[in-house]
Amino acid sequence: MYAPERHQQILARARAEGRVDVTALADELDVTPETIRRDLTALERHGLLRRVHGGAIPVERLGFEPGIADREGVLAGEKERIAKAALDELPDGGAVIFDAGTTTVRLAELLPTDRELTVVTHALPVATVLATRPGITLHLVGGTVRGRTLAAVGTWAVRALADIHADVAFVGTNGLSVEHGLTTPDLAEAAVKRALVTNARRTVVLADHTKLGRVDFAHVVPLSAVDTLVTDTGAEPELVDEIEAAGTRVVRA
């Protein structure tokens, strides 16, 4: 069976059942799981499916944004490696900004205790991790807290971020592509992420491979605003090459 035929069958199954599973598709179509993963990635890049842990769902079902509790256990190993690699992007001292997200929370947990850092965040989980950490001067940005991400958004948050200038912003994203840059499902969250990037000297994006090539509803910043992307080894080499050709350094953990 040729790839276009597989793609048609996979898409039809996803639309009929609401979800497809990599292992089940590999058995049914008599191909390897790696082939199915490549098929799902291709369909995702065409905007027809959205990759989720272990499979994919059709875009027609994307009327929701997963909450932070639903995302904590997804790709936990990849997020751990990304967070550890991101430690190399920390300054020896100075100010950093932490965006909301499960990977940025893990980075906060791993922060070294042998240096003085000023940390600015609008994410309650990050603030909870760092509130009593020695060597950390923590500034919590206020605003309207979104239940799905436990992050403060709105004009208060954007105004507060305009008053600072940090060395590095560690930013999460729902989607990253060469054509559309960083994207996220919520306009208010996008505005705060944009402020994080604007008010930092360098921007480091932490994103597992399922975020690459994806485009979500709300635009944050173009890819040219991203200095470094830290992702995992599951990232497609072709996508990585495209991102690096656009001028963003890529670290695969």
The C-alpha atoms of residue 95 and residue 131 are separated, in whole angstroms, by 15
Asked whether the beta carbons of 42 and 10 are under 8 A apart, the reply is no
Which DSSP symbol is given to 52? E
Query: In 60-80, which positions are buried (b, 16+ CB within 10 angstroms) versus exposed (e)?
Result: eeeeebeebeebeeebeebbb
| pLDDT for res 21 | 92
| pLDDT for res 61 | 54
Which DSSP symbol is given to 223? G
Asked whether the beta carbons of 91 and 109 are under 8 A apart, the reply is no
Q: Which pTM value belongs to this model? A: 0.75
Q: Coil, strand, or helix at residue 138? A: strand
**∠ at Cα 179 (178, 185), nearest 5°?**
95
Average pLDDT, consecutive stretches of 10 residues, N- to C-terminus, the chain (253 residues)? 87 84 93 94 82 79 50 73 97 96 95 93 97 95 92 97 97 93 94 98 95 88 98 92 97 97
| pLDDT for res 67 | 53
Tally DSSP H helices, then E strands, for the chain. 10, 15
pLDDT 10s digits, 194-239: 999 999 999 999 999 888 988 888 999 999 999 999 999 989 899 9
| pLDDT for res 50 | 80
Q: Which two tokens stand for residue 157?
A: 């948050």
Which residue type, as a one-letter code, is found at position 71?
Answer: R
